Amino acid sequence: MTTRERLERKQERREDWAAGREQKAAQAFNGADMSESVTGIPFGQPILVGHHSERAHRAAIKRADNAMNRACESSNMAEHHHEKASGIQRQLDRSIFSDDDNAIKELEKRIAGREKERTFNNAINKIIRRKPKNESTPEKVEELAALKINAATAQKLFTPDYGQIGIPSYVNANLSGNISSDKKRLVRIKAQAVLNEAAEESENGISIIERNGWCVVTFAEKPDYGIIKKLKAAGFHWARGSWLGSRENLPEELNEVA
């Protein structure tokens, strides 16, 4: 199961829990009904102290109060689960998971978009910081307009933002950091894709690559738990889609493949 599929299942569970709580809240709200048709007590009638109806009246109020508390609790929990489900949906919408089928394509697209944005920001600052530095002139506004920046936005660019004119340096610094992180991820994902492809093309669905006394074991499909248990016992650990460990500790069943 991929990361995206696991999150989608978590989201479904949250929505199921919310629906269950909403149902309980509706039932509890019905239990809090103090209408005459339900309790037999006329609307607005006070408790008749000393009357034979006093005990039943007090019991009806207590039941309604308890039911209302349960209804509010369930309603609040339903809202909590809906909020958690919405948070998972936002994560699904904005995230690129390494085991997504289109992870390489989407990462390359995001890198290109961020690099384009960084280049655009640099072009803006080059215009703004040309002599007279950080001062608005008709020529600069016209050049910014050629970049499809309207006059109002251009004016804001010449207004200090925490002492900085134009696009603040932290904006491009953040972009550069994100670009660097995505490029590193892209290298790892491409490397793992090669291992996965080798496993899929092998006759037994297993790829074992040796590297300086260590080996990388990749399965085309999830192996039996017995194999996983033996790999763990041999000191192998899971890392980004493959099992890594010492070549000399490779379980006997996999030694035959290697």
Tens-digit pLDDT profile for residues 168-227: 999 999 999 999 999 999 999 999 999 999 999 988 899 999 988 899 999 998 888 999
In the predicted model, is pLDDT for residue 138 greater than 70?
yes
pTM value is 0.75
Tens-digit pLDDT profile for residues 31-53: 888 887 777 777 788 888 888 88
Q: Which residues contact 172 (CB under 8 A, 6 or more apart)?
A: 118, 121, 122
In the predicted model, is pLDDT for residue 75 greater than 90?
yes
In the predicted model, is pLDDT for residue 93 greater than 90?
yes
Per-residue pLDDT band for 257 (boundaries 50, 70, 90) equals low
Spans of all domains in the chain: 3-94, 97-201, 204-255
